[in-house]
Amino acid sequence: MSNSKKYKYLIVFSYDGSRFNGFQRLKDANSVQGEIERVLSIINKEKTYIRGAGRTDRGAHAYGQTAHFELNNYIEPLSLIKVINNYINKFIVINECYIVNDEFHARFDAKQKTYIYKINVGKANPLYQSYMYQINKQLDYKKMKKCCKLFVGAHDFEYFVSGKRFNNNYDSIIKKVKITKKNNIITIKFVGKSFYTYMIRNLVGAIVNVGLSKTDIKTVKDILDKKIDKRLPTAPPQGLYLLKIKY
């Protein structure tokens, strides 16, 4: 009788999103998911799939993305990290690896996600081009700080989500939105459980529009409260980073 036992793993990994066509597996283009699955399939000697905690847009980055998968044979986690990193695209790095129980799911068991978004308000820097939103002009930081506070708590974020959700439910709870500025780099941190398609980039777009004095805070609040149906600009993906996921 053959041994059908599977060994389930959770990996924590980082990647440079500018080198891939997004996280999600694609048929005719490179992706983070596709690259990890390519390497795991070699190690596992059969087609192997991962289930990520979430998808990042094309051009967005990650410090602490997570995914689970199953292997036919046990490999000690530290050894598995080394093997994967030896074969994988150099713009992906596996940082941590754990054995998890059979019921674990990287997406559904996630309790909290933290993202950051980086903006350069100083002089244009070609080295920042793929890693920050280069506005290259000073913004009204105080107004931006007030705008950030609007998004904390439970809200219906429909007008800050791109596309339609299958269940028409856009409710989410954001635990923290914190904005900081060091030299000419503004960083906005978002902490919550559920973030939908382009949601963070749309929130950042609103915050930046307020900082540019193109939109006032009352208008943003009215959009959030669905008193007016209006869409504000979407911030580009290159400033977005998935920082960490908490289980």
Per the listing, tokens 């990290």 go with 81
Question: Which of the listed residues 99, 131, 155 is the one where a domain comes to its end?
Answer: 99
The reply to whether 18 and 56 lie within a common domain is yes
The reply to whether 95 and 211 lie within a common domain is no
The reply to whether 59 and 133 lie within a common domain is no
Other beta carbons within 10 angstroms of residue 222's beta carbon come to 15
How many separate domains does the chain show?
2
The reply to whether 94 and 119 lie within a common domain is no
- Give the model confidence (pLDDT) of 136-154 as tens digits: 999 999 999 999 999 999 9
pLDDT for the residue numbered 166:
83
What is the CATH number for 25?
3.30.70.580
- Indicate the SS3 state at residue 176: strand
| Structural domain span for residue 145 | 112-246
Q: Angle at Cα 22 formed by Cα 180 and Cα 19, nearest 5°?
A: 85
Inside any domain, residue 105: no
pLDDT for the residue numbered 187:
98
The Cα 138–Cα 51 span in angstroms is: 41
Inside any domain, residue 77: yes
What is the CATH number for 174?
3.30.70.660
Is the pLDDT reported for residue 94 higher than 80? yes
Mean pLDDT for 224-240 is: 96
The reply to whether 176 and 210 lie within a common domain is yes
The reply to whether 92 and 170 lie within a common domain is no
Q: Which residues of 40-70 are buried (b: 16+ CB within 10 A; e: fewer)?
A: beebbeeebebebbbbbbbbbbbbbbbbbbb
Question: Which of the listed residues 34, 67, 99 is the one where a domain comes to its end?
Answer: 99
The two structure tokens encoding residue 68: 């689970």
- Give the model confidence (pLDDT) of 160-214 as tens digits: 999 898 888 999 999 999 999 999 999 999 999 999 999 999 999 999 999 999 9
The reply to whether 149 and 228 lie within a common domain is yes
List the catalytic residues.
57
Beta-carbon contacts of 183 under 8 Å, excluding residues fewer than 6 positions away, are: 122
Predicted TM-score (pTM) of this structure: 0.94
Per the listing, tokens 């059979």 go with 102
- Indicate the SS3 state at residue 234: coil
The Cα 122–Cα 141 span in angstroms is: 13
The Cα 233–Cα 144 span in angstroms is: 15
Mean pLDDT for 101-124 is: 97
The reply to whether 79 and 12 lie within a common domain is yes
